[in-house]
Structure 1
Amino acid sequence: MRILYHHRTLGDGAEGIHIREIVLALRELGHEVEIFSPIGNRLPGFAPRPEPTGRRERLLARLKRMMPRFLFEVAEIGYNLYAFFALRKRIRNFRPDFIYDRYATYNAASILAGRRTGVPVVLEVNAPLAYERANEPDEILCFPSLAMRFERWICSHADLTIVVSSPLRDHLIRSGVHPRRLVVMANGVDPDRFSPDRSGAAVRLRYGLGKRIVIGFSGVLRPWHGLDTLLAAVGRIDPAEIDWHLLIVGDGPYRQELEAEIHRYAIEGRVTITGRVSHEAVPDHVATFDIAVSPRSTFYASPMKILEYMAMGRAIIAPATENIRDI
């Protein structure tokens, strides 16, 4: 089949990895996939939050950083006008069997172009972004009611809306989306890359972990991931009884607060924060974990870290929430 993949991102970080893996998986199945996005048709790479390299990417990244939030949201809405006509042109030239759209706040362009041209649209929803941006402490949403109306309309007018968890499906149903539009499909991982056969010996050597019991976390360091709870828990383990080490694989806006907590518990010698690690290098780090932890999760997520832990056969500690039970 011929698939037109549309996303409205800079293709960096975790979302870039997700986009890349979906496109590669579709191509591996024999489908012809063409990408349409603000950064062109390139396939995102594996680097963690790389500096934008293209002229267009640098401009978009600068605008995102400097533009007042309400103007940025107006630009998000305005993107629909540009993308609608650009998608119609791409549809005429590529003649896709369907459009695969990665949902973004206010982004109705694929639905509008698909309805105008008669091309079906499959929508992928990883989070209820209107709810998320209205409720997360590091997000600002200037027009929450409008964003929620857009979200309901977009999810209701795709030919098929794929959501990553049962709680996310239930949230959209409560917001007014008809259940028949929704299909639950959890995230996945590449079993060839995240294999239990991977060795963590080199990483253990690099960080001087020796034969310690390694408790591990992999992901972006954000307040809602529950790392404060993890530090409080490991801080109560007596090293005389269990020779442990906490390996935190990643970086993020919460790092400074996390380092202050580590100092408060006086466990500096037993905690390592690696900083940014490329996606290609993550499996070798996870391979060092004896116990892999995901302390907290948003109610609607399908956490990639837990799927990666599972694929590598780690012992896992995670919340007993419905979305985690899904996987």
Structure 2
Amino acid sequence: MRVALFVETYLPFINGVVTHVKSLKDGLERLGHEVLVVTADPTVRHHELRDGVLRCPAHRSKRLYGFGVAAPVIRTRLKFVQAFDPDIIHIHQEFGIGLSGALIARKLHKPLVYTLHTMYDEYIYYVAPKPLIKTVKKISHRYTRFLATRASALTGPSKKCEEYFREVGVTKDVSVIPNPVELDLFNPDQIDEEKKRAFRQKYKIDDDVMIACFVGRLGREKSCDILLDYWAKSVRPEDRMHLIIIGDGPSKPELEEQAAKLGISDMVTFTGKVLHEELPPYLASCDVYVTASLSDTNSISMLEGMATGLPVLQRNDPLNADQVRNGVNGYIFNNAKEMGDILRQIKSKTPEELKILKKSVISSVKSSGAEDLANYVLTVYHKLYSQSNQSVDQ
């Protein structure tokens, strides 16, 4: 089967959607399928096809995380995709490239799959001034409906995506397909012990201090302000615990200022941006992964933490309730007190108890590799492909 994956940004840029698409591409190719990734790239002046990736000229947008925004209607792009002759077109984002994929699918009479990765209501403040947020939200909902009605199948990494489709007025079935994680990269047995020691030395954290970490882009939607507030209310210096916040973003300066005002700067470290390939020893050096975000849809950063054996402390999110199972791969908390109590509970476990918990956490993501993702998605593709062939025969 030949599959064209349309995504607004791709390697070397890294985010959750890029990781998802890369894993899907890798998994499909390992299973013998052909894949073309179509993406915007502000560094190229002409459409360039290299190593199965069609890079399309784009304008860099400061408001959209520095992504490249490409024009949706370009004849050259259509010719490249037409020459590839995909059996399935699968769009993963909704801007110029995503719209381009939808239009090309219609032009070439190909089945269209649309995966919703992002709850855009949480991100509208990046692109719209406050007085216009309500209007822009309505436009965003209308546009999501537009793409969804043209898709032959809808998917998303959590039930939260299904709920969002319902909220914007889409009634089609949604296949919930969990996000992947690069199991080999984050295998704790493959992570250099010297790099783990260097991590604690770099940030001056003693060996007897338990480290809780969060990884992600530091924007308002990640609720790191709530995480800091909970930490200040429930953790004391004598607990011998430290919070590491890994990542960068527009909210980083105000979060650092918040930590100072709360008087917890000595217990919190902001690392800034960390390259993806350098992340494994950071995670493996920590003891737990903690998040207060309610905007994530099956967070890949959280899964990467699990792959290294970190139990996850997740703020209660009913639509993501099935991702963290108490005592199996982590714990759910509802408030600052519960978060602090769970942290102390984990810190008090014996080495043997921690070893058993870590093994359980890793086991919970063992079926989240690239080929697992590909097999999940192939069930959707094969159904559409069969239906498409039947309609042609008739």
Using the size of structure 1 for normalisation, the TM-score is 0.80
Aligned residue type for 1:109: S
Is the deviation greater in 215-224 or in 102-111? 102-111
Give the deviation of 1:87 after TM superposition.
Answer: 4.5
Structure 2: gaps of 5 or more residues? 42-47, 324-394
Aligned residue type for 2:3: I
Q: Is the 8 A contact 1:20 1:44 kept in 2?
A: no
Give the deviation of 1:17 after TM superposition.
Answer: 3.4
Q: Is the 8 A contact 1:287 1:312 kept in 2?
A: yes
Partner of 1:318: 314
Give the deviation of 1:143 after TM superposition.
Answer: 5.0
Give the deviation of 1:278 after TM superposition.
Answer: 0.6
3-state SS of 1:183 partner: strand
Q: 2:93 aligns with which of 100, 103, 126?
A: 103
Partner of 1:151: 144
Seen in structure 2, the aligned counterparts of structure 1 residues 174 and 224 have a Cα distance that, compared at 3 Å, is: closer
Q: Is the 8 A contact 1:97 1:120 kept in 2?
A: yes
Is the deviation greater in 151-160 or in 27-36? 27-36
3-state SS of 1:292 partner: strand
Q: Is the 8 A contact 2:159 2:320 kept in 1?
A: no
Mapped partners of 2:34, 2:319: distance in 1 = 32
Partner of 2:81: 91
Q: Is the 8 A contact 1:219 1:250 kept in 2?
A: yes
Residue deviations 1:265-303, cap 9 Å, x none?
2333322211110111112111122121011221x6221
Q: Is the 8 A contact 2:14 2:276 kept in 1?
A: no
Seen in structure 2, the aligned counterparts of structure 1 residues 323 and 201 have a Cα distance that, compared at 3 Å, is: farther
1:297 aligns with 2:302: no
Give the deviation of 1:183 after TM superposition.
Answer: 0.9
Partner of 1:127: 118
3-state SS of 1:36 partner: strand
Residue deviations 1:296-322, cap 9 Å, x none?
221x62212221222222122102213
1:230 aligns with 2:227: yes
Aligned residue type for 1:139: V
Partner of 1:239: 237
Aligned residue type for 1:79: A
1:247-266 matched pairs, under 5 angstroms = 247-266=244-263
Q: 2:34 aligns with which of 10, 32, 35?
A: 32
Give the deviation of 1:117 after TM superposition.
Answer: 1.6
Give the deviation of 1:123 after TM superposition.
Answer: 1.7
Residue deviations 1:160-211, cap 9 Å, x none?
111121122122134232333x211121201111223334333122222121
Partner of 2:6: 6
| Corresponding pairs, count | 299
Mapped partners of 1:21, 1:128: distance in 2 = 21
Structure 1: gaps of 5 or more residues? 46-53, 68-74
Partner of 1:80: 72
Give the deviation of 1:10 after TM superposition.
Answer: 6.4
Q: Is the 8 A contact 1:297 1:303 kept in 2?
A: no
Is the deviation greater in 303-312 or in 4-13? 4-13
Seen in structure 2, the aligned counterparts of structure 1 residues 272 and 19 have a Cα distance that, compared at 3 Å, is: same
3-state SS of 2:62 partner: helix
Q: Is the 8 A contact 1:165 1:185 kept in 2?
A: yes
Mapped partners of 1:262, 1:44: distance in 2 = 45
3-state SS of 2:162 partner: helix
Partner of 2:391: none
Partner of 1:117: 108
Is the deviation greater in 7-16 or in 263-272? 7-16
CA RMSD of aligned residues (A): 3.0
3-state SS of 2:263 partner: coil
Aligned residue type for 1:243: R
Mapped partners of 1:297, 1:66: distance in 2 = 22
Q: Is the 8 A contact 2:222 2:292 kept in 1?
A: yes
Seen in structure 2, the aligned counterparts of structure 1 residues 36 and 294 have a Cα distance that, compared at 3 Å, is: same
Mapped partners of 1:16, 1:167: distance in 2 = 20
Seen in structure 2, the aligned counterparts of structure 1 residues 10 and 187 have a Cα distance that, compared at 3 Å, is: closer
Q: Is the 8 A contact 1:108 1:150 kept in 2?
A: no
Aligned residue type for 1:301: T
Mapped partners of 1:188, 1:105: distance in 2 = 23
Seen in structure 2, the aligned counterparts of structure 1 residues 65 and 230 have a Cα distance that, compared at 3 Å, is: closer
Is the deviation greater in 200-209 or in 278-287? 200-209
3-state SS of 2:73 partner: helix
Mapped partners of 1:273, 1:66: distance in 2 = 23
* Percent identity (aligned): 24
Q: Is the 8 A contact 1:17 1:44 kept in 2?
A: no
Seen in structure 2, the aligned counterparts of structure 1 residues 226 and 168 have a Cα distance that, compared at 3 Å, is: same
Mapped partners of 2:185, 2:179: distance in 1 = 15
Aligned residue type for 2:113: V
Seen in structure 2, the aligned counterparts of structure 1 residues 183 and 55 have a Cα distance that, compared at 3 Å, is: closer
Aligned residue type for 1:19: V
Seen in structure 2, the aligned counterparts of structure 1 residues 217 and 43 have a Cα distance that, compared at 3 Å, is: farther
